[in-house]
Amino acid sequence: MNLKRTRMVALTLALPMLMAACGGDPTATVPVPTATTAAAVATATTAMAAPTATTAMAAPTATKASAGATATTSTSNAEPTANVAAATIRVGTWESGDALNLWNDLIANFKKQYGQINISFEPVPDNYGTKLLTQIAANDAPDVFQVGDGDVRMFVERGGAAELTDYIKGKDNLPGLDTTIYYPSLYQTGVVDDKSYFLTKDYSPLAIYYNKDMFDKAGVAYPKDGWTWDDFQNAAVKLTTGSGADAQYGVVLPGNWVRAVEPFIFQNGGDLTSPDGTKATGYLNSEASVEAVQYYVDLYTKYKVSPSPADVGTTFQGVDLFQTGKAAMTLTGIWPESGYASDPNFHFGVVGLPMKKQRANAICWAGLGLYKGSKNSDQAWLFLRYIGSEAGQTAFGANGLPSMPAVADKLGISKDANKSAFLNENQYLTPLPDMRSRWWNDTTAKYFGQALDNLLADGGDVKAALDDAASKADADYAKLSTQP
């Protein structure tokens, strides 16, 4: 009997060892669902952050238009050519599904010009950020890699991204880049401390979609560009009716999605952190910020014009309330637009964000940069430059928005009644506080998100909640920024 007992004990002792070891790397054993097949910009904000209920809400598929729109890329080829040696360059992206068609067409067109440059395309839809960081740590990263807005500073400060300044000026015999062809605010998104690191792939500001039929039925006038917080609230209240399964919501607000709440704060003249990104106290809990958050929270708890974040995350998970006619308005980016537009019976309009003291907006942005350790950075630059050229921006403009006014005109975006509303918001883009500090997600974004969770569920004193969030964020910033 002793023998059997000993075996059992030995086996049982071995179990936690094995299992705890496996437990260290959950990604190895757990199948991970593809976060979303939505447009690039939709995933840009979430690629390295935990997917939240609100971003899932903002990410319906919108890439169907991709295949047809790329036919135009091959025709525009006013590109200068350079003589470079043959090489293979690797390109990393988090995209998947239909979005890859855009890439494949773009690569094929690039190769027509530079036959000697071979492109090894490496899409990583799951845990892209983790994989990229490990590759950089192992000195084996893709020569050209995609990055989301929130990670720009991290890649610059930790040293994965190469500075583009020399290439932009025209290094050796390579073609340089005239950066005045871009919208200034877009070009600036890839600039850190006055040095250029990333070029825009695609992006979207935020805007309000409204259902014309529902507005007509309720006898409410369509919103007009330049409308105010009061206009927005009044329309939302009038369009909120019914309850339970018959509930109709005035608007789907973005819950605790910090990026989409930021514009309210900017519109009221507030901010989330100090300009150098080191302090939240005095900014996140300033009078202007508190007032803006109070307005936002009241829409949920006092006027009840939006489904609660809990409802969006559970009852309506995976349901586009705006498209299904359960909500008269929605606040999001351009990614669902082509999907909505493909239904001729769905009558909707798009209008810029409402204003308070001023107009303001926040961007969702995906860019591409050069890997600092690249052995073929000249060839990689030619490819990156191609993406930033008219041809590249024409291709990716099918998904999000192009970074060049010329391409926006060429694709008809600036004439399109709905898409132009997004384009028009470019001039109101406020530089993201997200990009001031690499600890943003661990500090202000984290505690502001938690404060929103609490406020939207229970209401409560906004000022006290933001005071608390700001002081916690500052304490963590002090801790994180001084660690070795």
Partner 1 sequence: MAVLASPRKAGKSWLAGWKKSETWLFYLCISPWLIGFLIWTAGPMFYSLYLSFTSWDLFTTPQWVGLGNYKDIFTDNPDFWQSMKVTAIYTFASVPLSLVGALAIALLLNSKVRGIAFFRTIFYLPSVLPAIAVAVLWIWVFNPLYGILNVLLGLVGIKGPSWLGDPNWALPALIFMSLWSLGGSMIIYLAGLQGISTTLYEAAELDGANKVQQLFKITIPQLTPTIFFNLVLSIIGSFQVFTQAYAMTQGGPRQSTLFYMYYLFDMAFIKFRMGYASALAWILFAIILVFTLLIIKSSSLWVYYESETK
Residues that bind partner 1 (CB under 8 A): 1, 3-21, 23-24, 26-27, 30-33, 48-53, 127, 129-130, 133-134, 136-137, 158-160, 244-245, 308-311, 313-315, 317, 441-442, 450, 453-454, 457, 479, 483-484
Q: Least separation, in Å, of the C-beta of 221 and partner 1?
A: 32
Q: Least separation, in Å, of the C-beta of 293 and partner 1?
A: 17
d(CA 150, CA 154): 8
d(CA 414, CA 123): 31
H/E element, 196:
strand 195-196
- Structural contact between residues 407 and 394, judged by C-beta atoms closer than 8 angstroms: yes
The secondary structure of 316-365 as a DSSP string is TTT--TTTTTSBSEEEE-STTHHHHHT-TT--EEEEPPPBSSS--B--EE
Nearer to partner 1, 159 or 226 (CB): 159
Nearer to partner 1, 1 or 417 (CB): 1
Nearer to partner 1, 10 or 85 (CB): 10
Beta carbons within 10 angstroms of residue 81's beta carbon: 10
Q: Least separation, in Å, of the C-beta of 464 and partner 1?
A: 17
Q: Least separation, in Å, of the C-beta of 278 and partner 1?
A: 19
Q: Least separation, in Å, of the C-beta of 26 and partner 1?
A: 5
Contacts of 356 (CB under 8 A, 6+ apart): 228, 229, 264, 267, 268, 269, 292, 295
d(CA 13, CA 26): 21
Nearer to partner 1, 9 or 86 (CB): 9
Q: Least separation, in Å, of the C-beta of 318 and partner 1?
A: 9
Nearer to partner 1, 219 or 484 (CB): 484
Sheet with 117-123, edge to edge strand ranges: 117-123, 87-93, 144-148, 364-370, 198-204
Q: Least separation, in Å, of the C-beta of 171 and partner 1?
A: 26
Nearer to partner 1, 138 or 417 (CB): 138
d(CA 93, CA 263): 28
Nearer to partner 1, 219 or 244 (CB): 244
Nearer to partner 1, 150 or 367 (CB): 150
H/E element, 134:
helix 128-137
Q: Least separation, in Å, of the C-beta of 38 and partner 1?
A: 18
The secondary structure of 270-313 as a DSSP string is --SS-TTSS--TTTTTSHHHHHHHHHHHHHHHTS--S--HHHHH
Contacts of 206 (CB under 8 A, 6+ apart): 260, 263, 331, 332, 333, 353, 361, 362, 364, 425
Structure tokens that stand for 57 in this block? 């809400």
